Chains A and B, each alone.
Chain A
Amino acid sequence: MSKSSKKPKFCRGMVCRVTCVTGDGDHVCRLLDLGLTPGTEFSVVKVAPLGDPVEIDVRGARLCLRRRETQGLDFEQVERSG
């Protein structure tokens, strides 16, 4: 919703939607391959005990991503839970 470039902070249970995939190179390519295409919703299932990585549910698969490796992936929090 907010136009600010700051991404929402991951916390358990939140639902996000990919708004835009920016940048190029293999890094972004891999995120697209995993189904994080613009418009896709994903939910944060769990944050690892040591704070990183974050387990997300995207298209029915459970993936872990490191926070700092979500660069190039813009997303917004969807205002509903569950």
Chain B
Amino acid sequence: MAKTKPAPTSTACVALVGNPNSGKTTLFNALTGMSQKVGNYPGVTVEKVTGTYSHQGLRYEVVDVPGLYSMRPVSLDEELAARAMAGTEGRPPDVIVFVLDASNLERNLFLFSQTLAAGLPTVVALTMTDMLARERSGIDVAALEARLGVPVVNVVAHRKQGLSELQDAVARAIVERTVPDIDLGFPTVVREAVFRLHDALARAGIDANRSEVRETLLNPESAWNRKLEGNPDIVRAFQEERQLVLGESIQGRTVDAQTRYAWAAKVRRAVLQSSDSRVRAVSDAIDRVLTHRFFGLVIFFGLMYLVFQSIYTFASPIMGWIENGIQSVQSAVSPALAGAPLLQSLVVDGVLAGIGAVVVFLPQIAILFCFIGILEGTGYLARAAFLMDRILGWCGLNGRAFIPLLSSFACAVPGIMAARVMPDSRSRMATALVAPFMSCSARLPVYVLLIGAFVEPQFGPAVAGAVLFVMHFVGLAVAVPMVWILNRSVFKTKRLPFVLELPRYQWPRWRDVALTVTTRVKVFLQTAGTIIFVMSIVIWALLSFPKSEAMDSQYQAAYQSQPDSFKEARTEENYVQAQRVRDSYLGQFGRAIEPAFVPAGFDWRITTAVLAAFPAREVVVSALGIIFSLGGDADEESSDLRSALAQAKWPDGRPLLTLASAASLMVFFALCAQCLATLATIKRETGSWKWAAFSFVSMTTLAYIAAVIVYQVGIRLV
């Protein structure tokens, strides 16, 4: 009879639901391949991943619902999953494909029993049976099918086994629209109460299925209770039944969980054919080494060293090629546009530099996510978190934050993106907000320049080295208390126990690793990359305008009227360039806010250089070079720039940069969020400008306060 009902639209919607580590992602990748689209739920770090496939002329859209332990929305991720299935986000799915991990039957069946409440046609994809076979166990698929009342398809996704059978079963389920209904074995009192309440609701004209009624009865905090608030009679009826069923001592949720798990255990006993002797034998043997109290830590730090070196050192030649490539394009294009100086500047210093500012991040992102894909795919990432949780757990983070934070010492952009390895959105958020405090490689040139100019001449190389070392931990020292405070203020809602699952070790699936890398690169280019590119051009415009021939000839006349000693120290071109920056909108802004930065020991020149470095931190060195009339080619090792900084004076003749103001500038740079790419990435990963703004304001405020303290203490001591 149902066969006459046509599918609701030409595209069928399939929701892929399952526990974390159930092989859901591998199945999703195998089904949808390169058709994946990654969006973000606004304001949270939860991604909405969808993909499509075609089967027998029909298009299927697959929604990869985040991995869950329970359909009862406890965490934010689960709330979004529950919403996706209830259909408040667009239409409800036509069919649920439940990914059932054969090696972890009971907990997976627990979640399965909850998804039934959605009342949607369901197909079970049974995964990990290959792993079970290696342990000489197996699943009686026919028995499982009979127990669950839905089609069960054995799938080995990475070998493409069972995919077309699964697609057939999905197509059939959509046509037949049979909704499974199984007896979970709830106590008789519960069932009778549900029956009475179901009647009462029907009389009141409220449409609810029995699982919804039961959920409302056993869990007073469920969403349904809120829906019923306008109906006092019904609310009272529920309260009375609750009293009757539960009495005083037992909790509804315990009864619910106990019943479902008892059912799950019964099903497992009926379908699992197990020898029991080799269960996890190989995995446990590997674990004896990899989580060993000594060797485990040695191997962990060795691996982390490799990961860090790869993004810090091995990525730099590739980044160098990209920079050289952009430069050669710039110098190739530049002469062609010589006739139109403004266009030339826009194309060379705006557009091409903006593209460079985006593309330069790709090697680090690709390398880091290649490692993450492998470490996650093998199951090692969970072990790394197991080893490190003690160190990071006390301040509100958890063991999984180690890799994102370590990566941030190379660059916060891949670091923040790597916060995705954290299972819950709350700790992802905390990690993403702390990551920019880590001393990234773009801060290094500033430290080298200032330490070279002010510390080394006075105190020698040993002290200089020590100061450079200490500077790397300034951010960390501020970040740790910050995350501690964040966890007790901003994120104080919903503190859940940290759950870490140690799955069996597996070989990495190279297809999954490749998809992880391409997805991250694509996401970065499309979202953060666009913002970085646009803002780079905005900063270019602020530095280039106002601009006029008259002003340039004024600068040239001013240069000519200077004494010879002045002209020997700088070329006319560099002088004119410096004056242009001084009078640009950005320079004007720098001069306007100079009074605010005087307590920190900065004048407008330093302030403007810091502002100009917004698109990329390391630009501050060449910006200083331009402002001090040395041209933009000056680097941190340049002795001209070092001496120009050492000789620079305030208008009243006091030296501009002393040890105190150099230290203040370094501390400011260590803490400030003067990095467009970082903010764009935070915006992308959290799905909202709010968190990017929060990060910018809080870091800049902290940086300012710290810089003022350092300078004020410094001038009194030195």
Contact = CB atoms under 8 A, between A and B. Distances in A.
A66 interface: yes
B387 A69 contact: no
Nearest to A70: B497
Interface string A3-40: 00000000000000000010010111111111101111
Given A53-B500, A62-B501, A48 B69 contact: no
Contact of A29 (B72, B105, B110, B387): B72
Q: Nearest 4 A-B pairs (CB), nearest first?
A: A50-B390, A32-B257, A33-B70, A49-B293
Contacts of B265: 59
A26 B494 contact: yes
Interface string B489-513: 0000011111111110000000000
B391 interface: yes
B583 interface: no
Given A29-B72, A30-B69, A30-B74, A50 B387 contact: yes
A30 B261 contact: no
A66 B106 contact: no
Nearest to A47: B293
B389 A64 contact: yes
B499 A34 contact: yes
A49 B390 CA distance: 9
14 contacts: A21-B254, A24-B251, A30-B496, A30-B497, A32-B256, A33-B257, A34-B107, A39-B258, A48-B390, A49-B292, A53-B386, A55-B386, A60-B104, A66-B498
A63 B499 CA distance: 7
A51 interface: yes
Interface string B92-128: 0000000000011111001000000000000000000
B461 interface: no
Interface of A: 21, 24, 26-35, 37-40, 46, 48-53, 55, 59-66, 69
Interface string B388-400: 0111010000000
Interface in B245-266: 251, 253-254, 256-258, 261, 265
A38 B110 contact: no
A49 B257 contact: no
A32 B296 contact: no
A63 B500 contact: yes
B539 interface: no
A52 B388 CA distance: 9
A37 B258 contact: yes
Given A30-B69, A34-B107, A37-B257, A49 B387 contact: yes
Contacts of A38: 254, 258
Contacts of A28: 253
A32 B69 CA distance: 10
B287 interface: yes
Given A33-B70, A37-B254, A64-B386, A55 B107 contact: no
B577 interface: no
B495 A29 contact: no
Given A33-B69, A37-B258, A38-B254, A65 B499 contact: yes
B71 to A, nearest CB: 9
Given A27-B496, A33-B74, A50-B391, A63 B502 contact: yes
Given A21-B254, A53-B389, A31 B106 contact: no
Contacts of B279: 60
A68 B85 CA distance: 34
Nearest to A65: B497
Given A49-B293, A50-B387, 5 more contacts: A21-B254, A27-B496, A35-B107, A62-B501, A64-B501
Contacts, number: 118
Among B103, B253, B393, B499, chain A packs the most CB atoms within 10 A around the CB of B499
B228 interface: no
A24 B252 CA distance: 10
A64 B500 contact: yes
Given A60-B105, A61-B107, A55 B389 contact: no
Nearest to B19: A61
A21 to B, nearest CB: 6
Nearest to A54: B386
A38 B104 CA distance: 20
Interface in B205-243: none
Given A51-B390, A65-B497, A66-B389, A35 B261 contact: yes
Interface string B655-669: 000000000000000
Contacts of A24: 251, 253
Contacts of A51: 390
Interface string B66-104: 000110101100000000000000000000000000011
A79 to B, nearest CB: 22
Contacts of A37: 254, 257-258, 261
Contacts of B297: 49
B394 to A, nearest CB: 10
Contacts of A61: 104, 106-107, 501
A79 B498 CA distance: 29
A53 B106 contact: no
B686 interface: no
B401 to A, nearest CB: 14
A62 B494 CA distance: 24
B364 interface: no
Given A55-B502, A61-B501, A48 B386 contact: yes
Given A46-B287, A62-B501, A34 B69 contact: yes
B536 interface: no
B162 to A, nearest CB: 23
B108 to A, nearest CB: 9
B291 interface: yes
Contacts of B69: 30, 33-34
Nearest to A73: B497
Nearest to A56: B502
A60 B257 CA distance: 17
B172 to A, nearest CB: 31
Contact of B107 (A30, A59, A65): A59
